[in-house]
Amino acid sequence: MTVKVGDIAPDFSLLSQTGSSVSLKDFKGKKNVIVYFYPKDDTPGCTAEACAFRDSYEVFKDAGAEVIGISDDSQQSHQKFATKYQLPFTLLSDTGNKVRQLYGVPATMWIMPGRVTYVIDKQGVVKHIFDSMLDFKAHVSESLKTLESIKS
């Protein structure tokens, strides 16, 4: 299955870096959600992307959105990563890549987990999908542009 713009985002429940369970449905009717899948904690590209989301986190909050990062790293790895870079948003552990597969996030060069961001509105509808392995900061700018269009 591949999630497309206009689809209802598939629900999931995963453990966060703090050990709490987070479900997409927790935000339905309350907040827009930015769900970004990334390959690996504490690697150069993933750190650049996470820090770009961190640096714009207040803008996302002001736009009524929550940011959630997902990779197959462990809860402990996420905790270290979030602490090291002072990430204010939730990181979820998708061990076994079940949610990644549910969304149809492709692998890059058939081996490395892809880097894809989904903008999901308050009703749970996917409004935008951005897929770029190398343009880390564009995941943030594309998400913010989409949130702006949702508002107007």
* pLDDT tens-place string over residues 117-142: 999 999 999 999 999 888 888 999 99
| Residue 34 within a domain | yes
Q: Is 46 an active-site residue? A: yes
In the chain, the number of structural domains is 1
Question: CA gyration radius for the chain?
Answer: 14
pTM: 0.95
pLDDT band at 152 (very low <50, low <70, confident <90, very high): low
Is 96 part of a structural domain of the chain? yes
pLDDT of residue 110: 66
CB 84 within 8 A of CB 42: yes
Give the pLDDT of residue 1: 66
Token output for 32: 């827009």
Q: What is the 3-state secondary structure (H, E, C) of 116-142?
A: EEEEECCCCEEEEEEECCCCCCHHHHH
Q: What is the per-residue pLDDT for 134?
A: 85
Answer yes or no: is 23 within a domain: no
Q: Using one digit for the tens of pLDDT, what is the confidence trace for 49-102?
A: 999 999 999 999 999 999 999 999 999 999 999 999 999 999 999 999 999 999
| Residues 64/33, Cβ–Cβ less than 8 Å | no
Look at residue 82 and tell me if it is in a domain.
Answer: yes
Range of the domain at 84: 28-151
CA–CA distance, 37 with 113 (Å, rounded to integer): 8
Predicted confidence (pLDDT) at residue 109 exceeds the cutoff of 70:
no
The residue from 46, 63, 140, 147 that is catalytic is 46
> What pLDDT digit, counting tens, does each position of 23-33 carry?
999 999 999 99
Residue 131: which residues within 8 A CB-CB, separation 6 or more? 106, 114, 115, 116, 117
Q: Tell me, what CATH number does 68's domain have?
A: 3.40.30.10
